[in-house]
Amino acid sequence: MQTSGSPAVQVRGLRKRYGNARTGFKDAVAGLDLDVSTGEIVAVLGPNGAGKTTTVEILEGFRDRDDGDVVVLGEDPRDAGRAWRARIGVVMQDSRDLSELTVAEKVRAAAASYPDPRDPAEVIAAVGLTEKARARTRGLSGGQRRRLDVALGIVGRPELLFLDEPTTGFDPQARRSFWDLVTGLRDDGTTILLTTHYLDEAAQLADRVVVVRDGVVVAEGTPDALGGPGARTPVVAWDDDGVRRVERTDRPTAVVARLIAAAGPDGEVPGLSVSRPTLEDVYLSLIGEAPINDEERGAA
């Protein structure tokens, strides 16, 4: 990761409320702070309703805010003009484009809106749609339409790219090809803010992960360090007379040796397992959901 000193995104105290006096108000975003450095890939994770999409739409300038300070590429999106918009790329979460235009026509038309676009044919190839270049948009499958969304988002050579659940509908091979594309964009200097439900995607792509819950950031860090040093402490689990025992320890080998020594002549420990919490385990604990294999991992 190569970052500069100037932030691409800086958010302080962001708030967005929905509802009215009769039905009551709900804070979709409740005082969120966020920084994204130039040249960085940041993945924003959180459950449905956490405020991720609302936050991204405010940063893109598509939704107004109730309070807070927002600076994106040096400007407030609320007041920014066409020149600023040409510097960002957007891949929205949901697209229902049923245009009669072909894939190539759509990408060429989008490219014409930017001062320094990428070559449309190269972009179409990069998202795996070369064989569909002459197909009409309305005839594309959901996954193919999603790839077209990505092509439209990157053809303008954006300084900052917003990717909201970009690989929804992709098959595994297409997802990995897309990951290579995103990494290449970052290597070329593009700053990327990504929302995703795929934990492996965040682990593969992100320089830093931000976890949002109830409209605020509850944790951030590199994928390997998210949740703090204790979050990845190894877990030793075993069965003891029908009761599942769990011990979290920085010395799992010593615990296993102790259990083997206590097991008797055959040295067998029923149900013995040693594991290290994954990014998914840490994420689920941060958003208040039980981690995978919670019965086994428990809390010692």
Per-residue model confidence (pLDDT) at position 241: 87
Q: Are strands 88-91 and 7-20 parallel, antiparallel or unpaired?
A: unpaired
Tens digits of per-residue pLDDT, 247-257? 989 899 999 99
Q: Are 237 and 272 in contact (CB under 8 A)?
A: yes
Per-residue model confidence (pLDDT) at position 297: 40
Q: How many other C-beta atoms can be found within 10 angstroms of the C-beta atom of residue 260?
A: 14
Residue with tokens 């604990």: 285
Q: How far is CA 165 from CA 68, 136, 184, 277, 290, in A?
A: 25, 24, 18, 25, 23
Per-residue model confidence (pLDDT) at position 20: 82
DSSP H helices in the chain: 52-60, 82-85, 103-111, 120-126, 142-154, 172-187, 199-205, 252-262, 279-286, 294-297
Tens digits of per-residue pLDDT, 104-151? 999 999 999 898 999 999 999 988 899 999 999 988 887 788 889 889
Q: Are 55 and 212 in contact (CB under 8 A)?
A: yes
Distance CA 36, CA 6 (A): 9
Per-residue model confidence (pLDDT) at position 299: 39
The torsion angles phi and psi of 62, rounded to 5 degrees, stand at: -95, -10
Distance CA 5, CA 28 (A): 31
Per-residue model confidence (pLDDT) at position 295: 41
Distance CA 242, CA 142 (A): 49
At a CB cut-off of 8 Å and minimum separation 6, what does 158 contact? Answer: 87, 88, 89, 190
Closest CA to 286 of 249, 232, 207, 247: 232
Closest CA to 101 of 130, 54, 142, 139: 139
Q: Are 107 and 123 in contact (CB under 8 A)?
A: yes
Distance CA 20, CA 260 (A): 63
| Residue 142 backbone zone (phi > 0: left; psi -120 to 50: alpha; other: beta) | alpha
Q: What is the DSSP string of 195-247?
A: E-S-HHHHHHH-SEEEEEETTEEEEEE-TTTTT-GGGG--EEEEEETTEEEEE
Q: Are 11 and 70 in contact (CB under 8 A)?
A: yes
Q: Are strands 24-37 and 7-20 parallel, antiparallel or unpaired?
A: antiparallel
Per-residue model confidence (pLDDT) at position 269: 92
Low-confidence stretches of the chain (pLDDT < 50) are 292-300
Per-residue model confidence (pLDDT) at position 66: 94
Per-residue model confidence (pLDDT) at position 14: 97
Per-residue model confidence (pLDDT) at position 271: 92
At a CB cut-off of 8 Å and minimum separation 6, what does 184 contact? Answer: none
